[in-house]
Structure 1
């Protein structure tokens, strides 16, 4: 700043002036007159740093009188909350070793106003070399600093404008709350250009949607503390209509790293939000249609599989039994494909959950082999299943999902091989985990495809014709399922040398239960059960006629003939209010009242079946409500008849059943 007294005085001259003022002479010379009358602040302190003299410029700038500042340390009077601590430490360190100081510092007046000084402090030594005083010459550079701030503000605003185009911009001072909006902000809310000056963030808060106001306020508080802002909310326009806005802001820090300003932009995303809502509605309708279609497919599969199972329990010739068994196995494969179709959407929505249960490792390997043996033999392939000697007999895991992965990998191996052998084997790793390996002698997988093998919608060249097969989802879903199970999946392959897929899973060992042996598909119900079921009274609610008939036939083979079969949840509720039953079997996806709702209604009623065990049958256990009624078991469709037989037996006899949640 300017130093006025018949011209400008240099900083060096001012130091000389102050020294002369300390000379002790009674006759104050011209230099002392300069120190007294210059517009620059001049301070003299003793060797402890306490003020012994200051010129009028100090009093005029700070507002302190001589009586208030004499004997005080300048820092105690002038420093405030935003004074840079690092600068204060630097000054203290320099003065402690009697070195000159030249810094810029933010100080405060007596009334609390901020001002900036360029401060030069020199030590003064007596004839004996001892420190006697400190002299401080200080220039008020507040206007220069404000110019710098405004220049930086303009740069920041220009950078924001370049980054976001013609979007409305805000500039908020965090300390005062003062906010300025660009001229194009007002038209965004239905106003006229240039009205942005009347808006502030509290005004915006009041125009935000009531259900979103609290979240918006929390986001703004976090932003003021230093976080970047990126939030969407509804805002009421001046004409009263609602629009969607996206607010994005960046924090501007001062030289000390303290948040001082927020620069941000406002985007009108009403059209984008409307498109999102329409897309979500389309997805909802698609999901409903898919759920309805898969429900119908599962009912058909249930009918085919059940009818085939009844045939297998009849006196068929060996040839006809083999044919019926092939039908049943193909039903199982088709069921897997239906579930496969739904898995991707479940994974993307984060709705796919695992249902661990004890299972026999060798039994799973044998089942995978038996499921695909016909396909392999028809192609002249040898399909081998093996279980290593160190593998635990029984482990805890989601058997259904693991079977799905192994069927997919083994099915691919059979599909892409023309001769040789396909092996599916279980073994134990040095770390004690269980590994499942599927190896084939096929054409191998091109190296270019291997990095993308587990990506969605990637199809693999079959290595022979150059054509690509499949939807490109199978391996991606396998990888997701293995990840959900806490494991890893990898592939080793080279053209002409086949492929090896290896899964490693941390499956917990379960103590062997020798009594829990599996049953074959041809075992008749009376061979599976050791109890008589003829006295059991069962209420069946199934709206699909074929499934209802098959389940009725199945229960009859179990000896259950005291059965009432209805086709709706409402009728089932009415029947349960009139007569006592030993078991209620309801399809979850009944037309009208759902199965779980029917059970809940019966439980809360005054009829005789408030404590009767219930069995819900569902093609998708994710359709079941979270607040399931008590004493309810679940069985997935298409029904696995051995599970049905044992579950019905357990429920009727009061044995604790094991739920099946593999759908």
Structure 2
């Protein structure tokens, strides 16, 4: 029979009768499975000082404490932010006193005659359990706060790093395209390759964070499999040839001509695996085998004759920051994130990345993705185009149109203007949203397309697009951002943007946008522009001006009419006024009053008023229930959150 574990509990006894102290101590020492470390205080002020230290797991508080009462101790303890659970002790039963003690914050109210009873033990266990739950809640809030801080840091890091990388990569590509600079192209290629490596490392860190937080989403689209695999072949054939390796992509079965996949993420996975295979293979071959299985799954195998992986490391290679080689001796670059990200991406696609390896002989990585419905009539042998370049960075050269570039960084202004000029189109520059508004207001029909950065001084991209749409200017506007995350594109399009392009600017992607929006077939419709005339009416109460404006923009995009207030007093003036609101969105931390308190006061006046609390942390359920709040939104509030609130009201 195993001995039960003993729980050590630090107890503060506030009691002015020495006999009761001795009786309480004796009984506590007799309770099995507990070791109570009892500290006795009999004076009011010393007791409060001891409580304020928050160094106790439990407090037993006598109701009669000289000239003071236990109720006054309770109230003062709560005022001093004491979190220790307190059980009130009294010599006689009093229902009124019992209710007052519980209302003042006591966990329980126990008669001294019940100290030796099972009820007292249950009361102690309950109070200790509540303390443990409170500790877990606070720890969870701390972790969530750390996570939000990390998200903010990563978003800032992404923006700060992608902006200079845009200039470095963009201008290097421009210089590489000039025939007169043949003599310095080796040096330019080194700059370009290292810049792309920095960008890949940044993308790896951000992707891993998004995957861990479940914020990365797949963007499936119809993809020509032959072209996709031809790109992959062209990308690696030279790298393999430089090491004297044979590189091939083979199909073991006929393949569908078009598949619906996230080609960017699938390519990312295959590049990571093939890159590793070539990196760790010094002789022999690297080959990719593709098989269409009977259950409509497409199986990929990457096989190499490289150094292999030791058995003890096979289980660790899909963990972040793990390397096959020792970090102090290896000669190949990388952060050890590629396989971890690839494994997570394949799980997101519904598959699993597996590996088999023999040390000194080679490795085989394999995975399958579900293609869904397949038209068997389109199955055909794989025909690689082995002459095409790895990536087509050429721009269309026969475009016509006039473009406005709204961007505050001069290097990116020049880069975009130069690239656009190579297509035959022309471009002008606006340094911020205010300048862009003036230019578009004076000549609304002069421009065919706008590229607009989101982060600019004076007036940012979000405010500018809303102002443009309110003025009835409905030409296509593509947002430029270095901090794209899950849901960003949807929110931007809801505000009025036509599309989104990520920084650093990819030349091929820029060409696609230009060809699409400057084509003769493209016709924009004012029906696609979100209007702000809706039937629902929201009162948004938020003291932070940026958050208040953003919430208004997002709600306007959902065709919701919005009235804003910056404090509880202004909110109350609107509430008691003639206007009626379908919901009141209250920030929990207003400058002049708690949002929960304000919600309780509003509900007391009108129990049917719908109220949503916006908070940066999970409010306590008891306080939410007391305030009769209908919904809670955790910050940062997204367009999806607001859409759900609107649908509930509708």
TM bucket normalised to smaller: 0.5 to 0.7
Shift in Å at residue 582 of structure 1? 1.8
2:467 to 568, 583, 601: 601
List per-residue Cα deviations over 1:259-289 (Å, max 9, x = no partner): x987341258599689769856863664355
Where does residue 73 of structure 1 map in the other structure?
A: none
In the alignment, which residue of structure 2 is the partner of 1:6? none
Describe the superposition over 1:460-490 as per-residue Cα deviations: whole angstroms up to 9, x where unpaired: 2379978997433221111111111111110
Deviations 1:478-510 (Å, cap 9, x if unpaired)? Answer: 111111111111001111220010011112467
Preserved contact between residue 392 and residue 508 of structure 2 (Cα < 8 Å): no
1:589 aligns with 2:455: yes
For the residues of structure 2 that align with 1:166 and 1:370, how far apart are their CA atoms? 73
Q: What is the 5 A alignment of 1:565-580?
A: 565-580=429-444
State the Cα deviation string for residues 382-437 of structure 1 (Å, max 9, x = none): 22223444221221111111111111111111111111111123321232201121
Tell me, yes or no, if the aligned pair for 2:306 and 2:360 is still in contact at 8 Å.
yes
Q: Which residue of 2 aligns with 1:304?
A: 171
Structure 1 residue 438, shift from structure 2 partner? 1.2
* Structure 1 residue corresponding to 2:160, chosen from 265, 283, 293: 293
What count of residue pairs does the alignment treat as equivalent? Answer: 432
Is 1:553 aligned to 2:418, yes or no? yes
Tell me by how many angstroms 1:546 deviates: 2.5
- Superposed CA deviations along residues 490-532 of structure 1, whole A, max 9, x for unmatched, are 0011112200100111124677899xx99966685456x5xxx
Pick aligned residue for 1:263 from 119, 126, 138: 126
- Offset at residue 189 of structure 1 (A): 6.4
1:543 aligns with 2:543: no
Q: Partner residue of 2:282?
A: 418
Alignment partners' CA distance in 1, 2:379 and 2:465: 33
Displacement of 1:350 after TM fit?
2.1
Aligned mate of 2:259, from 395, 407, 431: 395
Residue 240 of structure 2 is aligned with which of 376, 394, 405?
Answer: 376
| CA offset digits 1:354-389 (Å, max 9, x no partner) | 211222223333323333333323322222223444
CA spacing shift, 1:195–1:365, aligned 2, 3 Å = same
Q: Please point out which of 476, 484, 487 is paired with 2:340.
A: 476
Question: Please, what is the CA RMSD of the aligned residues?
Answer: 4.8
Indicate the residue corresponding to 2:77 in structure 1.
238
Q: CA deviation at 1:603?
A: 1.2
Contact 2:165–2:195 (CA under 8 A) maintained in structure 1: no
Name 1:635's counterpart in structure 2. 501
SS at match of 2:301: strand
Which secondary structure state, in structure 1, belongs to the residue aligned with residue 411 of structure 2? helix
Give the Cα separation in 1 of the matches to 2:402 and 2:310: 61
Stretches of structure 2 lacking an aligned partner (at least 5 in a row): 1-26, 40-46, 65-70, 87-106, 108-121, 525-650
Structure 1 pair 575–418 and aligned structure 2 pair: CA distance change class (3 A)? same
Q: 1:434 touches 1:507 (CA, 8 Å); kept in 2?
A: yes
Match of 1:81 in 2: none
Per-residue deviation at 1:613? 1.0
Q: Displacement, 1:315?
A: 8.9
Q: In structure 2, which of residues 230, 249, 255 is the aligned counterpart of residue 366 of structure 1?
A: 230
Q: What TM-score does the superposition give when structure 2 sets the normalisation length?
A: 0.56
1:373 counterpart SS class: helix
| Equivalent in the alignment of 2:642 | none
Contact 1:298/1:619 (8 A) holds in 2: no
Q: How does 1:22-101 map to 2 (within 5 A)?
A: none
The alpha-carbon deviation at position 167 of structure 1 amounts to: 11
Gaps of 5+ in 1: 1-152, 169-183, 200-205, 208-234, 250-259, 658-663
The change in CA–CA distance for 1:427 and 1:587 in structure 2 (over 3 A counts) is farther
Equivalent position of 1:615 in the other structure: 478
Distance (Å, rounded) in 2 between the aligned partners of 1:156 and 1:394: 76
Looking at structure 1, the residues matched to 175 and 388 of structure 2 have their Cα atoms a distance apart, in angstroms, of 17
In structure 1, what is the Cα distance between the partners aligned to 2:412 and 2:203? 19
* Equivalent pair of 1:381/1:419 in contact (CA under 8 Å): yes
Residues 440-449 or 461-470, more deviating: 461-470
SS class of match (1:501): strand
Alpha-carbon distance in 1 for matches of 2:221, 2:84: 49
Paired with 1:167 and 1:397, the residues of 2 have a C-alpha distance of 66
CA separation of 1:635 and 1:627: change in aligned 2, threshold 3 A: closer
* CA distance in structure 2 between the aligned counterparts of 1:633 and 1:555, rounded to whole angstroms: 18
| CA distance 1:364–1:627, shift in 2 (3 Å) | same
Aligned to 1:338: 202
Once residues 474 and 246 of structure 1 are traced to their aligned partners in structure 2, the CA distance between those partners, rounded to angstroms, is 49
Contact 2:437–2:464 (8 Å) recurs in 1: yes
Q: Is 1:442 the equivalent of 2:281?
A: no
Aligned equivalents of 1:333, 1:368: Cα separation in 2: 18
Contact between 1:586 and 1:595, CA under 8 Å: does it hold in 2?
yes
Alpha-carbon distance in 2 for matches of 1:513, 1:574: 55
C-alpha distance in structure 2 between counterparts of 1:475 and 1:501, whole Å:
10
1:572 is paired with a residue whose SS is helix
Query: Secondary structure at the residue paired with 2:320?
Result: coil
Alignment of 1:141-220 (within 5 A): 158-159=32-33, 161=34, 188=51, 195-196=60-61
Question: Quick one: structure 1 residues 464 and 377, their matched pair in 2 at CA, closer, same or farther if it must change by over 3 Å?
Answer: farther
1:316–1:295 CA distance, 2 compared to 1 (3 A):
closer
Contact 1:437 1:503 in 2 (8 A): yes
Pairwise CA distance, 1:442 = 0.5
Structure 1 residue matching 2:353: 3-state secondary structure: strand
The CA deviation at 1:450 is: 0.9
Is 1:453 aligned to residue 317 of structure 2? yes
The corresponding residue for 2:12 is none
